[in-house]
Structures are given as structure tokens and as C-alpha cells.
Structure 1
Amino acid sequence: MTTLVTGATGNTGRHVVRELLERGEKVRALTRNPAAALRILPSGVELAEGTHTAPDALAAALDGIDRLHVTVTAGLAEVGPELVRRAVDAGVRRITVVWGGAVGAAEEAIAASGVEWTRLEPQEFMSNTATWADSIRAEGVVREPYDLPSALVHEADIGAVAAVALLEDGHSGQVYNLTGPEALTPRERVAHLSRAIGREIGFVTITHEQAVDRLMATGVSRADADYVIGWYAAPPAVSTTIDDTVERVTGRPARTFAHWVTENAHRFQ
């Protein structure tokens, strides 16, 4: 049996690929840039060129696939149902999906597909911390509008849960909220980083509008920027409440933020 992993070089996709390969499974990685993927993904993975947001060009990538992992990204809302239809027609019988922050057309199509499916609903990714890297390296400062707690989850734990749901029975129709083992404020995360890199990092409060403008400057739409910064302004209770799903599903504790920092400290130095 072979699993197709979409977004295979992304924050979560690469961990799904690694987890499956470590279990001895056959993995086909869908990527826009196979040459770059060779430098990122472990050896033993089969590469397929393409993107899940262009499902009409995925006949070859879906050929012989039994299982599918999907990460909902921008642009999938319009074509998600078509991707699911083509996957099911090609013989896919089990799907895992990392939601896009809300249940949209892609998530709904997967739930209505008639095949086994599991939806993963991670709260904030620990890798979001990497957006601070430039300002920390250049100025030793982090600028954020709010200092509220978030139960961040390690991307590798998302990959581990996805692998279990893809390979083992008993997860069909399940919706898994995924968090780390602690809820940390941005200042607390900064303190972890300061200790890891051996120098003080300042924390400067900016306005809500400044945060929206900063995000829009990266190419994000006004609506999406308002949504993201609004989430930080009033995070839902589920995003600050510790959930033991990672440990229940995988049999091992969720990774801590300190663990993530140890792996990624070089990015801030």
C-alpha cells in the first residue's frame, strides 16, 4: 500500500513523510519542486510533481494510491471537493486531513467522501515562532500585539498522529484536537529562546493595526490578516486548553516547546 502526502515539504507534510517511512511504508510525496524536495525529504520517498490545488493534473500522482494525506492550504477551498472526488475514484480508501483552521469545503468533502477519514485540528504550530527569527537576529527583539497563552503543538506530533490514523484502524470519523503539553505566552516563549541562544531578547508590544499591516506586507489578504490577528487578540478556549490527544493516539507524550527550541535554536542566532 502506498500513501500520497500532499504539501510534502511543508511544516507538517515532511513529518508525515518521515513517520511513514520510519514505519516501513511506501510514500509518494507531492511537491511543486522535486529537485528541492530531494534536499528536504528522507531517502526512500517517491516524488511526484504537482500540487493538490490543481487536482485535474494529478492522475499520475494518484495512480496506485491507497491512502492520502491532505493539508488544507490557501486555494484548496475551491478545488477541495474535486481533489477528493478524483482521489476516491483513483482508489483511495483512507484520508487524513490537517484542517485550515475551520471546517471548509475541503474538510466537508472529505467527511462526505464515503471513505475512512480522520481530521486533525492542531492549534497554533510551534513553527510559527520562526517568524521571529529575523528580528531576533538583527535586533534582539520580538514585536507582538498580544501576550496571551497558546497550547502550541510540535509539527512532528501532527505528523505522528497522521501516520497512526493512516495506518491503524479505529480512527475513522474522528476529529482530533491537537495541542502541546503546555500553554505558553509569547513572553514565555521568548524566555525559552533567550536561554537557548544565550542572550537577552526584548519583547515590544505593538498595536493590533500594526500587526495586521505587518502580515499584509507578506502578501496576506486583509481579510486573512484580520482573522489571524483577531485570533491572537481573543484566542478560543480550545487553543489554550491542554489536550492529551497526541499521547492517546501515538502512545508517547507530546513534545514540549523546549524540545522545539533545542532543535531550532540555530535559526535565531
Structure 2
Amino acid sequence: MTKILVTGATGTIGKHIVSSLAAAGSEVRALVRDPDTASLPAGVEAVRGDLSAPETLEPALRGVRSVYLMWPGIPVEPGVVERIAGHAEHVVYLSADVTDLADGERPTIYHQEIERLIRASGLRWTFVRAIDFATNTLAWADQIKRGVVRWPYGRAARSLIHERDIADVAVHALTTPGHDKAKYLITGPEAITHADQVRIIGEAIGREVRWEDLPPDIAREQLTAAWGNPEFVAARLKAWAGFVDTPERVTDTVEQLLGRPARTFRAWAEEHAGDFR
């Protein structure tokens, strides 16, 4: 048996990775900021550590063979990869579609840098490059509760992926052979427009929810005020505009790896209906 360290162990994806590994009998160690308050399955070892402070990772890495690494959007710390390479043999890194994100978008920058560091580290590596998450539509929750979503580019078609599919692919890469130097681009099974995503969420909660297209100039102003980064907002608007005429790509990578189709957006909406009521 080999010990697996999971970072982001209580997060949206990490919690599913931890649960799946523990259920399969893997020896799991969870990196958390506060072991006393972390809610983890029985048998999972919680160890204190913080990715923003690489020196805190040493206790968590001792005796570990594989690491699931996610990066929470903080400045890149090269020492994290160096310390992982000093202990582990294999890292599965949750990345993004770094070949196709809009120029100026922050995730492209830090994902590319961390991938570069991992490649140069001597570790065996697997990159799980996930298209945008279905969970990001939770940003509409307050508007959906009011019955109307005002957002730009209602005809932009996105191939959002369920967080449990991301977790299942990561677990597969951590626990089965043959994934060294693999770069898996994973998406949902179809591209669905913003407006249809809202309609599907409305059907899941049993209430009609209207879509109103927000003019891009107004969206730019509102999103800049909310997100605080004009370049990021501009990149997002540019990407969404592009998805109106050219839907976001769809891959069958989840099915190829796991032997079953990726979960649909409707399945995600039904699972998360309570978040929108």
C-alpha cells in the first residue's frame, strides 16, 4: 500500500478524492490548515500545512509516494514543488486548459508556471486539465432565487464539468498505472449555453427562471466592481463572446478513462438544487 497526500482535502473536489480513496482502502493523508476542525472520513490522517508556506509541508510529505496537488490561486511558491519532489514519486496536478484560455486570464499564468515547475522537478506527473467547473454557476444562486439571471452572452455554449468527474479522474490517475506524462483535458459531455444552464437549474428546482442578456459594457462594469480585476473580466468576456459562435470544446476523456460518460449538467443541477432554492 502507498500513502497518498491530498491537498485541498476539504474543498469542492478534494473532499470527493479523499472519500473515494478512503472507500477503496487507500492510505490517505489530508493536508489541512486545522486538523481539529477538518471533517474527514474515518481512517484519514489529517496533517496541518499551508501551500503558501512550503516549510510547513514537511510533516505531511514524510512517507508519501503520491500527491494530489491543487493550487488555490495564490502566488506560485516554487518551494512547494521542490518539497514534493524531495519525498514523493508521482504528482497529479489539477490544472486548466492552458492551451486555450484567453490571454490575460490569471489561471493560465499560474497553471502554466506550476506545470513548468513540475516538469522540471524529476517527478512522474499527470496533469488533469479541467474545463470550467459546473460549480461556478453557483455564482448565479441569488439571482436564481429571485427568478431572473442577468448575465452577458446567453448564447455562449460551455462544456462545464461536474466536480465529481474531476475527482474520479484524479483518483484513477493516482491509483492505476499508465498515466506518467499524461495531459488529460476533461469536460462535460456537451456544450450548453448560459441561458440553457439557467433553464435547466430552474427545472431542477421546479421553478421557472428567466434569462436576461446583460450588455457587455454593463457586465464589464459590474464584474470589475465584483471581481476587482479589469484584465480578468476582459478575458472572461472575450472568451464568452467566442463561445457564442464556437462552442467550448467537448472531449470524451472522462469516458475513455473511466469507462462511463461524464455526468451531465442536468445531473449536476439536480444534485445541487438545494443551493438554488
Structure 1 and Structure 2 fold alike (TM over 0.5): yes
Aligned counterparts of 2:191 and 2:46: Cα–Cα separation in 1: 37
TM (normalized to structure 1)? 0.90
SS at match of 2:38: helix
Distance 1:242 1:176, change over 3 A: same
Select the residue among 91, 97, 107 that pairs with 2:93.
97
Distance 1:60 1:107 in 2: 24
Aligned length in residues: 263
Q: Please, what TM-score do these two structures have when normalized by structure 2?
A: 0.87
**For 1:34-68, what per-residue CA distance to the aligned partner results, in whole angstroms no more than 9, with x for missing partners?**
34431xx4333221222222212211111211111
Is the deviation greater in 97-106 or in 207-216?
207-216
* Alignment partner, residue 104 of structure 2: none
3-state SS in 1 of match to 2:236: helix
Question: Which residue of 132, 135, 138 maps to 2:143?
Answer: 135
Query: Counterparts in 2 of 1:1-269, with a 5 A limit?
Result: 1-38=2-39, 41-77=40-76, 79=77, 81-89=78-86, 91-100=87-96, 101-102=107-108, 103-137=111-145, 139-147=146-154, 148-235=156-243, 240-269=248-277
Match of 1:177, SS? Answer: strand
Q: Which moved more, 1:214-223 or 1:11-20?
A: 214-223
Structure 1 unaligned blocks of 5 or more = none
Deviations 1:183-227 (A, max 9, x none): 100111111111111111011111324334444444543333333
C-alpha RMSD of matched pairs (Å):
2.1
Structure 1 runs of 4+ with >6 Å offset: 236-239
Which amino acid in 2 is paired with 1:117? W
Matched residue, 2:99: none
Is residue 35–residue 47 contact of structure 2 (8 Å, CA) maintained in 1?
A: yes
What is the CA distance between 1:105 and its match in structure 2?
1.5
Inter-CA distance 247–17: structure 2 relative to 1 (3 Å threshold): same
Assess if the C-alpha contact under 8 Å between 1:52 and 1:76 holds in 2. Answer: no
Q: CA deviation at 1:238?
A: 9.4
- The answer as to whether partners of 2:199 and 2:210 remain within 8 angstroms in 1 is no
The aligned amino acid for 2:174 is L
Distance between the aligned counterparts of 1:169 and 1:227, measured in 2? 37
